[in-house]
Structure 1
């Protein structure tokens, strides 16, 4: 049981609630009140509904039907809309709740293989691990060097006066990228004597998994434009194409969505954005940060093409938290629009009501060759008006 207790303690209530598209706890609260998930009749009671403690144990109690338990009981109620048989999770009900808790956390399950014949004894039934991949949080990484970088985000410089000239210039060109926002998102410059692979000339971004744990960092090469121009001038030599971003070795960025951490749902602007637009989707980190300043809660692919893992998450997020709606905000170049055309198709096939915020040819070509991070307040206001029409 200790491993299950540990998993419960490590699972934020926000992650469970976001999985089912439910409202988040108030900021700083020690207890979260919500509608009873075990008995619909409890909603009519004057004594209130379900209370869930926000500490590690996550004990819950319904003041009307008197069901008590922990996060596993809550998950069972959310799945089955009733209390556990006999008031306690046992047998298959317990196993199902644990499996769902692991699924919510993105952990692989052990699934029984089919027996070779119907008469094969249960003792000889083989088991095999599911192939679901995960990014190991850096704090629990097998390599000591990676574990030591887990809190690198705390060392990032967000004051332009303390950055080198290239980093300061990059940030100043984006006045919406404030020190407060950079601090909140784990974005900043690391000094040349820093303890990371990004110490040469990068602006660093922190990447988190759905639970909010740091799983990687990426660096935006501040010399990219110069390197790109030289590469074009040299005739695009094979094997020397410069990369705009650099990631920590071993990080599988196709498993995550930038900005897709559960505790973000606590932000009032996120709930308002989801009501207005559904789930907004962009490519990169700067796009997410710019749209946040415009009041739009978006998640990023880290690429112009979504992976199968990301599609699964996008569909789940849209259905659970976005009213089964998605808004695509692509980079309006050839590669960006090609990737988002495929994304539009795949989300629509999954039953998500999906629409485009803009393309190269809409709004009189205003966005042609541009990215969401380039939007001015006035331009977004014009686009927003067409979306609400």
Structure 2
């Protein structure tokens, strides 16, 4: 039984509405997004198809926290919950405003879009009989807590760490500067936009000096963690191979913040990214592009390709569910896989190919170790030259 007072419940819903970007809702349904910086979004009326026949038939949605909307023809008004009702049922709420089950269904949908499970509200308590077990209380799905709302103060203080990262190689340590120079496509502008770089020498201690830092965001664009790429990994890896791959001593390329569940997120899978024109063009050409690591995503972006990353060679159930949703809502029900072309990378993406295909997504491989005359054997998408990608892209258009 839900013990919260109605006023508390309504306050929670108001907070959820305020914290949900309109872009997240629109992208869930595969609808066009508002221009960057817009204060109001105009779209077809979702409540009455005939409204679009009128020159006044645009539905106006405010982009502020309240997200009020109004159709100038059928006169339906409301907020993002009303919008969800219209998107689901293609008609206005009964009686002109959401009440009862219609209201609960809209709240449930909003929570689903945000990766939550609707709590059971207003249901009478049922005393279990000896022959029946009580149903468990509804709980939220697993989720990474945004750092700005983390229970620990130390974590909250790191929420804006991404704004302090050094992106100028002249201000980096020699190891970090060499790491960036080996990747000329990793520009200061791109690093700034993605929250990538080095922690300043007088900055906060997380991953300082030894690591190249990447910012991780949830689907709503909130910072949920950081990871560090060990700048000495290549040296450690070579030594590990030379030593005969001793068990228990395999070096780790990336270090993640303790408690972060990377299998719940897709790197680059934040909704406001859909505002970028190149993302829309990429989705039209390739569908949803999937790679493994952070550098792969950044390299593909520099090539004009919008990709999302697993952070591993094997996709979790959560990630597969997101990829299927992204593909069906925004990618024309298509996915393109760009694996790391080593044994582990290809094995993981073979499984992903199978799972996405089983879910009805039209899935194909961009390359493997054996395609394109073995050009990618032992290499990763971040290794692609502009000319190599042009060759691969040409084969994909056939």
Fold similarity call, TM over 0.5: yes
Q: Which residue does the alignment assign to 1:308?
A: 317
1:293 aligns with 2:333: no
1:111 and 1:130 in contact (8 A); partners too: no
CA distance in 1, matches of 2:215, 2:292: 16
Residue 177 of structure 2, aligned match among 160, 168, 186: 168
- Unmatched 5+ stretches in structure 2: 1-9
1:239 aligns with 2:251: no
> Displacement, 1:199?
0.5
3-state SS, counterpart of residue 230 of structure 1: helix
Distance 1:125 1:94, change over 3 A: farther
Give deviations 1:229-282, integer Å, cap 9, x for gaps. Answer: 222233333322211000110000000000000000000000010000000000
Q: Which residue does the alignment assign to 1:186?
A: 195
Q: Which residue does the alignment assign to 1:377?
A: 386
> Displacement, 1:99?
0.6
3-state SS, counterpart of residue 50 of structure 1: strand
1:338 aligns with 2:338: no
Q: Which residue does the alignment assign to 2:33?
A: 24
With the length of structure 2 as denominator, give the TM-score of the two structures. 0.93
1:108 and 1:133 in contact (8 A); partners too: no
3-state SS, counterpart of residue 137 of structure 2: strand
1:34 and 1:51 in contact (8 A); partners too: yes
CA distance in 1, matches of 2:40, 2:57: 13
Q: Which residue does the alignment assign to 2:263?
A: 254
CA distance in 2, matches of 1:126, 1:348: 35
1:145 aligns with 2:154: yes
Q: CA RMSD in A?
A: 2.0
CA distance in 2, matches of 1:169, 1:125: 60
1:72 aligns with 2:76: no
> Displacement, 1:176?
0.6
Distance 1:126 1:334, change over 3 A: closer
Q: Which residue does the alignment assign to 1:59?
A: 68
With the length of structure 1 as denominator, give the TM-score of the two structures. 0.95
CA distance in 2, matches of 1:57, 1:268: 27
2:263 and 2:315 in contact (8 A); partners too: yes
Give deviations 1:201-223, integer Å, cap 9, x for gaps. Answer: 11100000000000000000000
Distance 1:192 1:241, change over 3 A: farther
> Displacement, 1:107?
1.8
Please show how residues 15-164 of structure 1 align to structure 2 within 5 Å: 15-111=24-120, 126-130=135-139, 132-164=141-173
Q: Which residue does the alignment assign to 1:366?
A: 375
- Unmatched 5+ stretches in structure 1: none
Q: Which residue does the alignment assign to 1:222?
A: 231
CA distance in 2, matches of 1:286, 1:358: 18
2:237 and 2:250 in contact (8 A); partners too: yes
Q: Which residue does the alignment assign to 2:14?
A: 5
Residue 283 of structure 1, aligned match among 279, 292, 303: 292
> Displacement, 1:108?
3.1
> Displacement, 1:49?
1.1
